[in-house]
Amino acid sequence: MQRIYQPQVETLPRPKLEALQLERLRQTLGRIAANNPQYAQRLNGIQPDELRRLDDLRRLPFLTKDDVRQSYPFGLACAPPGDFVRMQMSSGTTGTPIICPQTAADVAQWGSIMARCLTAAGLTRADVLQITPSFGLFNGGFGFHYGASAIEAMIIPIGAGRTALQLQFMRDLGTTAIAAIASYPLRLIEVAEQQQFDFRRDTRLRIGILGAEIWSDEMRRRIEARMGIETYDIIGMTETGGVGMGLDCAEHAGIHVWEDHYLIEVVQWETGEPAPDGEWGEMVVTTLTREGLPLVRFRTRDITRIVSREPCRCGRTSLRVARLACRADDMLKVKGVNFYPGQVESLLLRHPEVGADYLVVIERVDGADHLSVSVEAAAASAEHGASVMAPGAELARRLADELYDLLALRAEVKVLRAGELPRPEGKAVRVVDRRRA
Ligand SMILES: [Zn+2]
């Protein structure tokens, strides 16, 4: 049996868990009615006591990202202004900020669910957690901070960037766990290689808690192999109150969602009707304990499926969803073919001679869509390749053929030297669609 932060609630038998969800759902509607009449009106005037069963939730309308964005700054807020103690923000693609105002109880809830996540990832007060997401408007840094404070682990609040210093602290301060945006370990690995820094030899690192981006299983295997760590996939977003809504436990058999705080539905993308368990659809979140910005049937645009509602081997009873496969917004349509960047990533990273950085560019050339994929050669193979004539050409041709088999699309594939693609701080840029410019 693994360590569990709040064993009573995390192992509640399902009937009790669902009864608790219904009670908290009613409380949430009551809170909205009491604090924000406009928001309550959006909910078709349905009163809390009209909800007899959890399924009655379906009588309530969806809330979209646009709804939340248009409510900037406090249109959906459900606490008196004096009760707010902090906020986080995400900008998304359009530039209009989405903010999540938080009460003291919200901050406490955040710390508590993050403590659950860290415990499920195997952290205790003996651990040293290096927090590499930024501290600021982005929720990552503070979320990990509150969680690690709750379990009294040592915190290294270094934030984003400064990769050489990250490695130095990792070695000198005995870091055992890192929290990061999913692509950041690639940067750490790259700089480590340049400095002949060996994670296994030079550090005590054993745990990586990664999220905020879609990351393929192939990427996961690479990170684990190169850093000698076990990784945990964490979910959550600004609107739901930040990182920490769920995590895949050490069984790695799906991501547990903390259901006493979040009610999860998976719905068919086009119709909004419930997707049967096991089928892919959009994750819809209703918050059950958030005060400042309670969400009712919030469409996350993240695509997942319910893996199981049975108790997990770890002892937890909360349902498990699949690792996020894609975001609905990320879908690309090129020459009438729909695909996700993650499909391209999985294909590329199956080749050990390909580095972990890549860039997909789509543009209009002479009135037609043109798809190009730039990949870097893996650092080691770039050195070996120097003696081979046109080392990248053969690989590029092979990758182009495989992409054609996968997508029925001709792509121009360029194999670059390691380090040639730009390295932005924060979330990785994998796709540039110039048709939208
Ligand atoms: Zn589990």
Contact 375, 349 (CB under 8 A): no
Distance 391 CA to ligand 1 centre (A): 45
So what's the pLDDT on residue 437?
Answer: 60
pLDDT range class, residue 85, cuts 50, 70, 90: very high
Distance 310 CA to ligand 1 centre (A): 10
Establish how many alpha carbons lie within 13 A of residue 35's alpha carbon, considering only the half-sphere containing its beta carbon.
20
Both 305 and 192 in one domain: the answer is: yes
Count structural domains, the chain.
2
Both 311 and 365 in one domain: the answer is: no
DSSP strands (E only) in 259-353: 262-267, 281-287, 298-304, 306-308, 320-321, 326-327, 332-334, 337-339
Both 185 and 317 in one domain: the answer is: yes
So what's the pLDDT on residue 251?
Answer: 97
Both 339 and 357 in one domain: the answer is: yes
pLDDT range class, residue 244, cuts 50, 70, 90: very high
Contact 186, 223 (CB under 8 A): yes
Where among 329, 344, 368 does a domain terminate? Answer: 329
Distance 144 CA to ligand 1 centre (A): 20
Distance 113 CA to ligand 1 centre (A): 15
Domain containing residue 372: CATH number: 3.30.300.30
Both 285 and 378 in one domain: the answer is: no
- Tokens 């909800």 belong to 51
Contacts for 428 with CB less than 8 Å, ≥ 6 apart: 181, 183, 213
Both 263 and 379 in one domain: the answer is: no
Distance 315 CA to ligand 1 centre (A): 6
- Cα–Cα distance measured from residue 167 to residue 370, given in angstroms and rounded to the nearest whole number: 40
- Cα–Cα distance measured from residue 421 to residue 376, given in angstroms and rounded to the nearest whole number: 7
Where among 329, 345, 370 does a domain terminate? Answer: 329
- Cα–Cα distance measured from residue 243 to residue 236, given in angstroms and rounded to the nearest whole number: 4
So what's the pLDDT on residue 387?
Answer: 41
Distance 314 CA to ligand 1 centre (A): 4
Both 346 and 281 in one domain: the answer is: no
Q: What is the pTM of this model?
A: 0.91
Both 236 and 251 in one domain: the answer is: yes
Distance 118 CA to ligand 1 centre (A): 13
* Domain of 403, in residue numbers: 331-436
Distance 63 CA to ligand 1 centre (A): 30
Q: How would you classify the pairing of strands 154-156 and 128-131?
A: parallel
Both 145 and 199 in one domain: the answer is: yes
The model's pLDDT over 188-235, given as tens digits with 9 standing for 90+, comes to 999 999 999 999 999 999 999 999 999 999 999 999 999 999 999 999
Contacts for 141 with CB less than 8 Å, ≥ 6 apart: 131, 133, 134, 135, 157, 159, 160
The model's pLDDT over 351-410, given as tens digits with 9 standing for 90+, comes to 999 998 899 999 999 889 999 999 999 876 444 444 444 568 899 999 999 999 999 999
Measured at the alpha carbon of residue 123, what is the angle toward residues 327 and 108, in degrees to the nearest 5?
A: 70
Residue 102 has pLDDT above 50, yes or no: yes
Distance 164 CA to ligand 1 centre (A): 35
Residue 288 has pLDDT above 50, yes or no: yes
